[in-house]
Structure 1
């Protein structure tokens, strides 16, 4: 039985064929213009899902690299500032040692004091260092607050907080992008890091106390101790050590003072050179937290003590010894912070190389999934263009097949 095809059906089929081939030509042209074979997820659902995962990996790597660059910039500025702090502290220490020379008079020391005070201004300036963005480097999270200010007495106050921004430089690696000013300039132990030893400024003898060391931790009793000198019944110089909380260390008879012998008690060992007098007192206490600015002020105060008598020379030496010990602690502390900054910079550099490698690998894999084979696409375009032309020409021929042409 013959199939009956209407004229409208012939036209519809011809138009649909042309439109279908036109759509395929347009798609191939769009693929060529964008350089990708996947224009929408339906073109390759599996490939689209893989491409999305790979693009996410690339975006993450780029973000980690950006985070590392931001942190690296801040840490590089911090390292430079801390290097200058170290140089200034070393200069202050050299000046202090010059001032400790017994041959120098107060006029000579005054010149040294003037330079140390100028160096103090430099230290405060470095503490108030800013990034190119105007943010303060050492103010913690309060980046718009000037971290250090000095009052009329010369005391320096920290106005920032203890916050430190952590940034991700990899999925499981976080790096501190800086240090708070409190940590860098204030969180510094005094003395030798374990104890602080000082002579009372009202002492009349020539005794100079050494640093105290912990020689036996098993018998150590933590307390603030005073070493007080008195005369025995026979007129010999004796001493008693008294803890602020634990009371006297020795029962009668008290030990006699021997300049050539060290003194040990409760696991602590120290010595006193020179000749204290009855009524003189020295203190031994655990190290406490002190800012580098307070230490510099302490050195200046020590250098202002006159030393034109044996008694004043001992007072001067005791005060200066404390200042020098605190300076050494400050320098060691700054070196530790610089080492930490250097370590973080190394981590950032290492992670940047890893992220760059991961990015390149993901981009290569993404190229395999998405990128167009131009030779194949051009061949496909030619084929589809030919099919479109054939559909158009056949439609022209078919539309002329009508019985009305023969009436």
Structure 2
């Protein structure tokens, strides 16, 4: 009986030490990580809620990445549209200058040469790329330059993109366009490259180079087309500005909600350091007591009882 009792005491003391060591180790790990829940078994309901909250936080992080990417892309588009407007403004000034009977063929030839340069600049702007190397004005065809010489008539610039408009998910229920197809921006008819701003500048240069009998009428037509192109660019640029403002506003909304989520995650999963330190002190003391008890049981033997 004495041997059995001693064995039981030995096991009980050993189990007590093991339980205390586990508790101390867990508290130390909690204090190191700052997390109250180290595994689902610690709090099944809290762990499930924490998983849901972290998933929601991950989605809002993705929304912010989408906003950052869209903002960069739209800023680049806005800059390209502004530069394209500057090109057309210069072409407009040159067209008005050229519509003067005091100019001779050489004078008009110089103006035509500058118009050709403006034409090349406008094509380059039509093939502008964002920070990741994707073409801004190709619609969904963002990996290929949208504007290139027409295969049937190399003098004309054809549109190789499509009419697609990419969208970015910026919030749980909000999406926003992050680009504009080039055929709309530069008024190019995909089926007829003789229409659009590139064709206008090309015809304008040719008119100045050849000085036809209809020179003044042709320059007047070119001026009307340039003004129409400027109005169109200004309208699209205004839409881009509205989108950029919407992105900024959505970013603020997302940030506020993310802060709320983070606070809730902290309430559910973060450790109360003061309480944990107090508990660690209690468990450490309990471990010391258990170890002392174990040592006393270990020193017991049948001979102690026989004496």
Answer yes or no: same fold by TM over 0.5.
yes
Question: Could you tell me which residue of structure 2 aligns to residue 175 of structure 1?
Answer: 176
TM-score, with length taken from structure 2: 0.91
More moved, 89-98 vs 14-23: 14-23
Q: Structure 1 residues 337 and 187, CA, compared in 2 at 3 Å: closer, same or farther?
A: farther
Q: Is residue 340 from structure 1 mapped to residue 239 from structure 2 by the alignment? A: yes
Q: Contact 2:134 / 2:142 at 8 angstroms: preserved in 1?
A: yes
Q: Contact 2:167 / 2:176 at 8 angstroms: preserved in 1?
A: yes
Give 1:142 shift. 2.6
Unaligned 5+ runs, structure 2: none
Give 1:111 shift. 1.3
TM-score, with length taken from structure 1: 0.69
Q: Summarize the alignment of residues 7-406 of structure 1 with structure 2, pairs less than 5 Å apart.
A: 7-150=6-149, 153-187=154-188, 290-304=195-209, 306=211, 312=213, 315-405=214-304, 406=306
Query: After TM superposition, what 4+ stretches of structure 1 lie above 6 angstroms from structure 2?
Result: none
Give 1:46 shift. 2.5
Distance 1:171 1:353 in 2: 14
Give 1:47 shift. 2.0
Q: Contact 1:299 / 1:324 at 8 angstroms: preserved in 2?
A: no
Q: Contact 1:302 / 1:323 at 8 angstroms: preserved in 2?
A: no
Number of residue pairs the alignment of both structures matches: 301
Question: Could you tell me which residue of structure 2 aligns to residue 278 of structure 1?
Answer: none
Q: Report which of the two has the higher share of helix.
A: 2
Give 1:387 shift. 0.5
Larger Rg: 1
What is the DSSP-based 3-state SS (H/G/I as helix, E as strand, rest coil) of the residue aligned with 1:174?
strand
Distance 1:26 1:348 in 2: 47
Q: Contact 2:127 / 2:137 at 8 angstroms: preserved in 1?
A: yes
Distance 1:341 1:350 in 2: 14
Give 1:17 shift. 1.1
What is the DSSP-based 3-state SS (H/G/I as helix, E as strand, rest coil) of the residue aligned with 1:168?
strand
Give 1:5 shift. 4.7
Give 1:11 shift. 1.7
**What do residues 42-81 of structure 1 show as CA deviations (whole Å, max 9, x unaligned)?**
2122322332232222212111110000011111111111
Distance 1:22 1:153 in 2: 82
